[in-house]
Chains A and B, each alone.
Chain A
Amino acid sequence: MVFEIQISRFKASDVIWTGNYSTTVTQNQVLHWSWESELPLECAIHFVRMRTMVDDARIPVPRFWSNWSSWKKADAQNSLGDHPLYVFPKDKLVEEGSDVTICYISRNHQDNISCYLEDVLTFGKQLDQSVWAFELKNISFLRKTGTNFYCQGQGVPEGVVLFVSKVLEEPKNFSCETRDLKTLTCTWDPGDDTGLIQLPSYTLFESFSRKKTLCKHRNRCDWQVTQDSQEMYNFTLVAENYFRKRSVSILFNLIHGVHPVAPYNLFPKNVSATNATMTWKVHSIGNNSALLCQLQLLGEGKVIQQHNISIRVNGEYLLSELEPDTEYMARVRCAYADHFWKWSELISQNFTTAEAAPSEAPDVWRDVMFVSGHPTVTLFWKPLSKVHTHGKILFYNVVVENLDEASSLEVLSVPAPANSTKVTLNQSSYQIHVTAHNSVGPSPASTVAISGHPGNENVEEGRINGTEDGFPMSWKPQSRNATGYVVEWCDGPQNLPCVLQWKNLGPTTTGTVISSGAFRPGVRYNFRIYEISTKRMAHLLEKKTGYLEELAPSYNPQVVPNNLTSHSFTLSWKDYPTESQTGFIQGYYVYLKSKAGEKCHRGFEKTVLPDNSVCCKYTIDNPDQKTFVMKDLQPESVYEFFVTPYTSAGEGPMDDFRKVTTPDEYSHILIHIILPMIFCVLVIMIACYLKSQWLKDKCYPDIPDPYKSSVLSLIKSKENPHITIMNVNDCVPDAIEVVNKPEGSKIQFTGTRKSPTETKGTKPAYLDLLPTEKNYSGPGPCICFENFTYNQAASDLGYCGHFPVTSQAPHCPLGPLTSPENLLKTLEQNYMNSLGEIPAGEANLNYVSQLASPVSGDKESPPTNPPEPALCSEYKMQMAIPLGLASPPPSENSSLSSTTLLDPGEHYH
């Protein structure tokens, strides 16, 4: 029968699909046919109808279609709830790259609904008043947990999750093997994960036995070999998921796919210095089938021996030609001997051979220093290579043999890992033998010979240039009997402790390249080439020095300018070491800048500095010249200079210029005049200082000595020959004689008991200077002279002879002065003190002059006259009185008591 089926959507008249379905039917049979809609059925009402026709060759044509059945409606919307929004299909599983249609049903027709795939707005088409559809083309895989599609209007968003599966790949590298002829294991590469939580299934089908098994792993499957001696297998692997089914097949011969299990119990036995026997076991296959095993011996990671051995159960093999004290790895793997297909996994075992005596003499060299004529030899030796040590070196034996004394042997034992020792010898010839010892025995000896006398060290030093490969050097042999040559050098810079290096060369060698990883550019290396005689004696042949690569000097010399004149100065950098620079110093550049910017001096050339400034440059091409005279300079000018060395690689770093100012041209003349003048003035000043006392006495004594005064002679000679000079001894101690008192002059002393009449006449008038008990009555006058040349301290204190004249002055201890003798003594004493140094205890003194200064006052006026404003002549003194004696505490009444009132009309001189 053939059935024609029509499907409509939304309305019965809208047919969207027509198709035929043919099948053989029996009576009362219920047929099933399905159709998948690209639009989720929940989003639209679908109608279906069919008609049928007999499709049997036995029934003659014409055949007729039956009538159409009535439309049957499929309405999934009836089962929906009353939510305002629905999105379909729910949780759909799709394959990557396919198309999918998503629809929504909105109950609220006014709602403006937007739909998004993940967060990307998606546009659809309206199918019905309430149904929209979104066709998603070529959908891609995003994540295992699905791709979200959601729609939102005014209510709660609704959505669906699409689970996108990657395309299932065909299994690759499908193969089978057996390890024991009992179980087959088939493996394959499943390819990329489909990205779904639901994994694809893998099924293994064998067509001869028609058996199949569901694999437990996605890349491996086990198959039990039957006991019916089936050798050939035709396997088909089927990978299947929701969308696809993939399969691969192989035809497999069991014998050709034997992959033995790895051997076990691999052990060394009877290990000696050069031999070892390896043993191992294998798992039997079938009925003790033969296995081919491969034994490999590895040293330092490389296969050095390989042997194939055929065995059944136990393997054994003797490894020979091994190195002593060497760690080896033995490893073994096996394959099926009847038909090789694949090696088993490797198993390995390490072992170390036994020690043997070192096989080679150590490489020995020496450094000879003569101290006080005796050679001190430092022996160096290189550690033996591992190939030659044959065990751990424990110590080195050094045997010193004096060739001049046959029986003289000295043996030193130097524990490893030392690589040098020092021996002090006599001025004899020696042979020194060095052997290295391990636990088994000594190595062959290495011999050096030492002469008791210094050899020829006066060999000219040549220069060599380094290359990328090192220092190439050659030499001329001196002797035809040389047994070899040795080149020695130091790896480090010269100023570091030298690590002596050497290289042995054969007797026919006349050149070599010295290379070392320690060589650095800019470091000077010194090489010495020795020729070794048949007696193992070394003779210095040549000296070489050079740089692997010369560099520009790293620093500049400290230049000192001296011999500065108005036209020249000298630059000196004698401390600059040329030997320890980063290249051979070829000379120096002297840069000169002047403020005037004039032309360069002779020999200089203009140059532009890196800072674009212009200066003059002078080239010194002699590295040993470390002074330079700048000539033809201008006086009183500023010059800037800078000196830098240069090598073949360039000049030194640019430093700051130093300034020098040339002096004035005539400055030396001024110096020749001013200096003597200053000297003369100094001499005069010193002389004056030394004779100051004499000058003082002569020119301005503290107390003018009338007898010494030159004025005296003038007076005497020109005026009054009768004038005499008052002698202190002639003075009455309590009175002052006023000389040259004019006639009629009057002196009035307020408060004095002397009557005015007593002061009249030519007779010298005497003033009571200090009251006595007898003549004292009431407040007395005072005569106060100020002597500005004396004791400023006393003056400052105001003690200027204001003697209180009180009727009772018990606190004024004037007792010792009340008598003329005492006063005279005091005066004399204080006069002497005034000439000399005033004692500290007498610093507070009042001074009273022996000479009265002019006093004003009316001698006729009664003594009761009130005191007038005092015109107190003060005189700082030639005579001192202790303050405590002369100055009682002042009182109100005594404030004027020591004042001599002078009449303005009467002055006494």
Chain B
Amino acid sequence: MKVLAAGVVPLLLVLHWKQGAGNPLPITPVNATCATRHPCPSNLMNQIRNQLGQLNSSANSLFILYYTAQGEPFPNNLDKLCGPNVTDFPPFHANGTEKARLVELYRIIAYLGASLGNITRDQKVLNPYAHGLHSRLSATADVLRGLLSNVLCRLCSKHHVGHVDVTYGPDTSGKDVFQKKKLGCQLLGKYKQVIAVLAQAF
């Protein structure tokens, strides 16, 4: 359990490398200064679109890989055990302004990144020999981190938004194994669903 608990905090720190990351961040006031550590690339929106497309193309196979590795009853009860019933998932409105959509995208990616970190940590304990699943989860988390950075760059450089309030899913480190499996499956089902909407929206 100590190991489980030790995984999420560093992950969150990686996702939000600034000091104080992990706390809800307010949207920067319009007149506030906004600076990024690295210069933003010129084709930022293209990169964001490509990353969303990349995630969308691999989301379903990751989902299948996950629920297959959990054993029965998961593969045969996807609607009950792996339905996208994630109550506190950040919303997304595809018809909003670019700024609003980017802010919502940022929240979703931050949520997903943290949850994926939890899932990766749990699966390394529960399924220590499922190396394929581990590598796919890690690769997805890598892309999410890059996407988060690009969205932040875009928000900062074009919309002068340096801080966005984010929320995270439940920490699974204290939960029993069945709950970990189920929450991971639900999260990946939700991820598969929402990433398709995001890829379409951008």
Interface residues, chain A, with chain B CB atoms under 8 Å away:
87, 90-91, 116, 118-119, 142-148, 150, 152, 156-161, 197
Contact = CB atoms under 8 A, between A and B. Distances in A.
A157 B176 contact: no
B178 A148 contact: yes
6 nearest A-B pairs in the assembled complex, by CB-CB distance: A90-B176, A161-B177, A118-B72, A159-B178, A119-B72, A161-B178
Interface string B59-73: 000000000011111
B131 interface: no
A146 B126 contact: yes
Interface stretch (B23-31, B42-50, B75-83): B75-83
30 contacts: A87-B178, A90-B178, A91-B176, A91-B178, A116-B73, A118-B73, A119-B72, A119-B73, A119-B76, A143-B71, A144-B128, A145-B70, A145-B127, A147-B71, A148-B70, A148-B72, A148-B74, A148-B181, A152-B77, A152-B80, A156-B80, A157-B73, A157-B182, A159-B182, A160-B176, A160-B177, A161-B177, A161-B178, A161-B181, A197-B125
Most buried by B among A142, A157, A160: A157
A145 B126 contact: yes
A734 to B, nearest CB: 116
Contact of B178 (A118, A119, A144, A158): A158
A157 B128 contact: no
A160 B178 contact: yes
B129 to A, nearest CB: 7
A91 B80 contact: no
B36 interface: no
Interface string B99-143: 000000000000000000000000001111100000000000000
B54 interface: no
Nearest to B80: A157
Interface string B140-172: 000000000000000000000000000000000
Given A143-B71, A157-B73, A157-B182, 10 more contacts: A87-B178, A91-B176, A116-B73, A119-B72, A144-B129, A145-B70, A145-B127, A156-B80, A157-B80, A161-B177
Contacts of B69: 145
A120 to B, nearest CB: 9
Nearest to B176: A90
Nearest to A142: B71
B161 to A, nearest CB: 36
A156 B164 CA distance: 32
A197 B71 contact: no
Contacts of A157: 73, 77, 80-81, 182
Contacts of A156: 80-81, 85, 182
Contacts of A144: 128-129
A150 B81 CA distance: 10
B85 A148 contact: no
A236 to B, nearest CB: 31
A625 B73 CA distance: 86
A148 B176 contact: no
A93 to B, nearest CB: 11
A160 B126 CA distance: 13
Contacts of B126: 145-146
Interface of B: 69-74, 76-77, 80-81, 85, 125-129, 176-178, 181-182
A398 B80 CA distance: 94
Nearest to A155: B80
A82 to B, nearest CB: 14
A659 to B, nearest CB: 72
Nearest to B123: A145
A403 to B, nearest CB: 85
A714 B181 CA distance: 142
A146 B127 CA distance: 9
Contacts of B85: 156
B58 to A, nearest CB: 23
Contacts of A90: 176-178
Nearest to B125: A197
A201 B168 CA distance: 39
B190 to A, nearest CB: 14
A160 B181 CA distance: 10
Given A116-B73, A157-B81, A150 B178 contact: yes
A142 B126 CA distance: 14
Nearest to B177: A161
Nearest to B74: A148
A85 to B, nearest CB: 12
A157 B182 CA distance: 9
A197 B122 CA distance: 13
Contacts of A158: 178
A200 to B, nearest CB: 16
A435 B176 CA distance: 89
B177 A91 contact: yes
B129 A118 contact: no
A121 to B, nearest CB: 11
A90 B70 CA distance: 16
Nearest to B127: A145
Contact of A118 (B71, B125, B127, B176): B71
B182 to A, nearest CB: 7
B79 to A, nearest CB: 10
A142 B72 CA distance: 11
B85 to A, nearest CB: 7
Contact of A197 (B73, B76, B128): B128
Contacts of B182: 156-157, 159
A847 to B, nearest CB: 103
A10 B124 CA distance: 40
Contacts of A161: 176-178, 181
Given A90-B178, A161-B181, A148 B71 contact: yes
A41 to B, nearest CB: 15
Nearest to A158: B178
A145 B71 contact: yes
A156 B181 CA distance: 13
Contacts of A147: 71
B128 A148 contact: no
A145 B181 CA distance: 11
Contacts of A87: 178
Nearest to A119: B72
A343 to B, nearest CB: 38
A118 B81 CA distance: 13
A732 B98 CA distance: 129
A92 to B, nearest CB: 10
A116 B74 CA distance: 12
Nearest to A159: B178
